[in-house]
Amino acid sequence: MNFIQKGVIMNWLNSLSSRWLFLTLAIFLTSACGNRYVEDIQQKQKLIDTQLLSLKTELDRGSMRNAMIIRSYASKLRVIDPSLSEIADVLQTDATSNGTLYRSLKKRAQAVNKNPEKKDAYVAAANELNSIYVASDPIIFNESLIDIVNTLSDLSGGELSRVNIPKSATTSNNAVKSENVPGSYLVGNPSYGQWSNNSSGSSFWEWYGKYALFSSLIRPSYGYYGRPTLFNSWHGQPRHSYYHDYGRSSYGSRQDRQGWAKGSSNLRNKGITPSKPKKDYRSAASKKRQSTYAYSSNKNSSRQYGSKSKSSGSSGGSSHNKRTSSYGGYSSSFRSNSSSRSFRGGK
């Protein structure tokens, strides 16, 4: 082998070595980026798990204001109408950690992609965890129970007062308007049922098994004349459902939100404007907390995906010690002992 041939071979080997070095470096950088995404999601997941456990403790303790109202209303409803005892039991359970709302949050948290390798997957996972974090805030969760309180009120035929509903919304507590049909506050909430299509292609609300009793309650005395709840008519009328007006972004999954957006777009194409609340009927505590989340989200909207979130906390024996968590752009400050927190859910 002459000198020229040796030189060609050496150049080829050096070129091959460089290509392998570049490929190895690219794989390393991609892996490092992917690991950064995974690390950030796993940190967020730990904060979610901690907050869900805190929420479970409060629900099991039974100290939330609206949960207490639900227990009281369910007990009174069994006396007012013993035939409704079964649904009263189910709705009372929904104000506990064994209920549909809490278990839905747990299920959503478990379904999040814990190992996103690409930015799009990371963004989807982070957004879903942010949504669950807001929904599992005890103050906001307490507010979401308003729909169950008002459902029990409608089941009582007005014997039990509704909460946080503007007096101008109706002239009495009697269930005489379409929005007061028993169960109407729960329609649209994926924890209780789903929108299905009938043979004519219209979308109607279908209750899950243990809530099927609501279907039999849609009778002439409530103004619906036995007809099912249709998507178009329901969305086109004013509501005072917490989920409908304020909770969709937190208590619905990504798929639920996408379905809602598509449905709203279809309504607008038909000339139907989806209804909006005419008056803010949330409690002051809930409005303040949600506005804090919204401000923090906007403030950190330019935050680089993949950067590490930080959390810090301190707790002590006193009920006045606070725990503060910084999570994915959302900041939440709440007392470590629920006995020191004032839950507002009254009228």
Report which residue type is found at 159.
E
Distance CA 88, CA 327 (A): 37
DSSP alpha helix (H) spans, 94-187: 100-111, 119-135, 138-144, 146-155
What are the mean pLDDT values of the chain's consecutive 10-residue runs (347 residues total)?
Answer: 51 52 49 72 94 95 94 97 94 96 95 91 93 94 95 90 73 43 87 86 86 73 56 73 87 81 79 75 84 69 43 36 36 33 34
Centre a 10 Å sphere on the Cβ of residue 322 and count the other Cβ atoms it contains: 15
For the chain, the 3-state helix, strand and coil shares in percent, each to the nearest 5, are 60, 5, 35
- pLDDT score, position 10: 55
Angle at 13 between CA 10 and CA 14, to 5 degrees: 85
Question: How many distinct helices (H) and strands (E) make up the chain?
Answer: 13, 4
Q: Both tokens of residue 233?
A: 């008519």
Q: Specify the 3-state DSSP secondary structure of 306.
A: coil
119-135 helix and 100-111 helix, angle to the nearest 10 degrees: 160
Q: Both tokens of residue 329?
A: 């752009």
Give the CA distances from residue 175 to residues 157, 159, 220, in Å, rounded to whole numbers and listed in that order: 6, 10, 11
Centre a 10 Å sphere on the Cβ of residue 263 and count the other Cβ atoms it contains: 17
DSSP letters of 253-302? Answer: -HHHHHHHHHHHHHHHHTT-PPP--SS--S-HHHHHHHHHHHHHHHHTTT
